[in-house]
């Protein structure tokens, strides 16, 4: 099992921070339970080549998938809710980094989620690779030029991207103060039919409502198994499955091992 580590050490003095970029190639299971809510004093963005990440930004869900960029303004709280293996560029920069500070995206107080066409996505990946190599060489003039070219391609969005019903569904689903429920329960709360909720969620995220419920249950179960406090039967109930044997089958279908085997692997990994 792997863990997503916080990219920025907010305990350090970041007042003189100007720019940083890295390329990530992540595979396997990633535990996001210990990644805290973060507030950064500079801009940050991620461009996904592969995979997906669900962020909560200012209390609202933002699902970023392959071919998309999500940019978070300065001093905006965010946290990771769900993380599927992905290849991505992740960057942070201060207002002093670009040559031109008049770009609209730098003055928008809200997050930006931009979808690129396949051709635009390929160009963006090439541009960020140039930026990464220039930064590693210490060629900040080229970094600045590439950053400006990137920022000019991010339009300001007047409304929150996505669908209001889908956003409310994801907010409820990843609220850790309540356990994951059935599709029909969420549909009733949102005053729509279960079939319509499934179709709507799939059309906007690529996953059905049931898919997301299983993702939420699985991630919560892994987090609780890792903590090592609750029994398997208690974890099953905590993720909304009353039948322990069904929970074991559900877990094994998705992870290839039983909950007990998963916990044993985690325990051995921690001890080594």
CATH number of the domain residue 28 falls in: 2.60.120.10
Whether 99 and 234 share a structural domain: no
Average pLDDT over residues 212-221: 90
CB within 8 Å of 271: residues ≥ 6 apart: none
Residues 146 and 177 in one domain: no
Q: For the residues 170-195, what does the mean pLDDT come to?
A: 90
Instruction: Give the orientation angle of helix 259-271 with respect to helix 209-227, to 10 degrees.
Output: 50
CA distance 272 to 212: 33
Residue where a domain stops, chosen among 122, 151, 180: 151
pLDDT in tens, 123-172: 999 999 999 999 999 999 999 999 999 999 887 665 555 678 888 899 89
157 found inside a domain: no
- Does the structure show a pLDDT above 50 at 4? no
**Higher-pLDDT residue of 3, 132:** 132
**What distance in Å separates the CA atoms of residue 257 and residue 125, rounded to the nearest whole number?**
36
Q: What CATH number is associated with residue 202?
A: 1.10.10.60
Residue range(s) defining the domain that contains residue 139: 2-151
Same domain, 93 and 184: no
Residues 101 and 60 in one domain: yes
pLDDT band at 243 (very low <50, low <70, confident <90, very high): very high
Do 220 and 127 share a structural domain? no
Number of domains composing the chain: 2
User: Who contacts 200 (Cβ-Cβ below 8 Å, separation ≥6)?
Assistant: 163, 165, 166, 192
Rounded Cα gap, residues 151 and 154, in angstroms: 5
**Does the residue 156 lie in any domain?**
no
Write the pLDDT tens digit of every residue in 53-99.
Answer: 999 888 888 999 999 999 999 999 998 888 877 899 999 999 989 99
Burial class (CB in 10 A: 0-12, 13-18, 19+), 180: buried
Same-domain status, 141 and 12:
yes
């Amino acid at each position: 099992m792997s863990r997503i580590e916080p990219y920025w050490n907010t305990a350090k003095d970041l007042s003189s921070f100007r720019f940083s970029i890295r390329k990530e190639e992540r595979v396997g299971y990633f535990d996001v339970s210990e990644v805290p809510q973060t507030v950064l004093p500079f801009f940050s963005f991620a461009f996904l080549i592969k995979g997906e990440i669900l962020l909560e930004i200012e209390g609202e869900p933002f699902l970023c998938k392959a071919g998309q960029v999500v940019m978070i303004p300065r001093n905006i709280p965010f946290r990771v809710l769900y993380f599927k293996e992905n290849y991505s560029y992740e960057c942070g920069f201060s207002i002093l980094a670009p040559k031109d500070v008049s770009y609209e995206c730098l003055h928008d107080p809200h997050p930006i989620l931009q979808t690129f066409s396949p051709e635009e996505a390929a160009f963006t990946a090439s541009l960020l690779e140039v930026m990464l190599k220039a930064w590693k060489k210490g060629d900040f003039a080229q970094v600045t030029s590439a950053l400006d070219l990137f920022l000019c391609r991010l339009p300001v969005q007047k409304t929150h991207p996505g669908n209001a019903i889908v956003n409310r569904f994801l907010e409820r689903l990843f609220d850790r103060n309540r356990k994951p429920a059935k599709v029909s329960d969420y549909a009733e709360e949102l005053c729509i039919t279960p079939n319509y909720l499934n179709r709507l969620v799939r059309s906007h995220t690529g996953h059905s409502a049931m898919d997301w419920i299983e993702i939420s249950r699985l991630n919560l179960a892994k987090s609780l198994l890792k903590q090592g406090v609750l029994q398997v039967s208690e974890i099953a109930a905590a993720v909304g499955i009353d039948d322990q044997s069904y929970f074991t089958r559900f877990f094994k279908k998705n992870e290839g091992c039983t909950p007990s085997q998963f916990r044993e692997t985690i325990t051995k990994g921690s001890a080594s």
